[in-house]
Structure 1
């Protein structure tokens, strides 16, 4: 709405509702191939570790995975798997704090959420 009107001393508000969420975990390689998963549930360390573990079994060459500093990426569960993944030649690195500009997946997700997804896409 480009304009509005309100009486002095009367608050105008739009009540918020707790809507459905769509959580995305994914990775993009240098050839712009995306691999990941989505869930309407909370993103948990076991979901992230399971995805990374399955990926580590499929890779055929040394692979470097860059993660942001989300708590599910730095949890005990992921730390325990890290030596196993390194034996499989998958190495984890963490981006500096507050640097979404270094994560190309963040750019893709910002465009996806802002331009491609409509509110009705979140409903089953």
Structure 2
């Protein structure tokens, strides 16, 4: 009987790194034994080890169990990125003085493919959520740091016409000079949007485009992440109707029941 089997490629890479780089001979030896066990060596041929030993070895290397994050596929131009950062910081200072308001705009979609990664559950009875094909609920939002949100929900695709219509509606509602932060997606950067910028400026609404490959500068991304991984519970994914109701409930109560500390 083998002592260890079925290790993932990620685990094998970690063990190989430990075997090659650890300064402790015993740690290197144990990591090597685990690899050999996975390759079919018998227990009698190996030094006995345990899960606790593996955990101790990994902790010594200051490694942890973290969610793997996606990253964008490119890098912004350094000089342009620095200039836009300075401009955005100046806008934030003006907002802190009460001169303007900044709203962070973006779109996100929701469907019956669940985003729930973890949940408290009894060891003897695991919670399962059905993943199923469904229509897609799309949301376009404009959010400020003080948890004020203007959100528009659609069961159709969000294109440039929709973005322009929502910005038109926002321009009618603003009480002071407002800057809307947007990324450079094709539904934001096009003639339909550009041709409306002067009209919006006359109403006190300005568009601030972020540098390419910089989603981390748009804090409304945090809202989408909270909704998908924290606030949408397993019951929301029972059917499309319950998903729509829960998404609407979160959006309506954002700023009161649901809040984010952007300090």
TM range (shorter): 0.7 to 0.9
Quick one: distance in 2 between partners of 1:32 and 1:66?
15
Whole-Å separation in 1 of the counterparts to 2:163 and 2:209: 15
Other-structure match for 2:225:
110
Q: Specify the alignment match of 1:119 in structure 2.
A: 237
- Greater helix proportion: 2
Instruction: Render the CA deviation track for 1:41-99: whole Å, top value 9, x for unaligned.
Output: 10011111111011112222211110111211112211111110011111101112222
Alignment partner of 1:65 is 2:183: no
Partner SS, residue 206 of structure 2: strand
Give the gaps of 5 or more residues in structure 1.
Answer: 4-15
Which residue of the partner structure matches residue 55 of structure 1? 170
User: Displacement of 1:103 after TM fit?
Assistant: 1.0
The answer to whether the aligner puts 1:96 opposite 2:211 as a matched pair is yes
SS in structure 2 at match of 1:70? coil
TM-score normalised according to structure 1 size: 0.77
2:146 is the alignment partner of 1:28: no
Q: Are 1:83 and 2:201 an aligned pair?
A: no
Describe the SS at the equivalent of 2:196: helix
Structure 2 CA distance for aligned equivalents of residues 105 and 120 of structure 1: 26
SS at match of 2:195: helix
Q: Which runs of no fewer than 5 residues in structure 2 stay unpaired?
A: 1-5, 7-130, 242-263
Partner SS state of residue 48, structure 1:
helix
Structure with the greater alpha carbon radius of gyration: 2
Give the aligned CA root-mean-square deviation in angstroms: 2.0
Q: Residue by residue, what CA displacement relative to the aligned partner does 1:3-61 show, whole Å, maximum 9, x if unpaired?
A: 9xxxxxxxxxxxx9653212111011131111111212100111111110111122222
Separation in structure 1 between the aligned mates of residue 229 and residue 176 of structure 2, nearest angstrom: 35
Task: Please give the secondary structure, in 2, of the residue aligned with 1:27.
Answer: strand
**Structure 1 runs (4+) greater than 6 angstroms displaced:** none
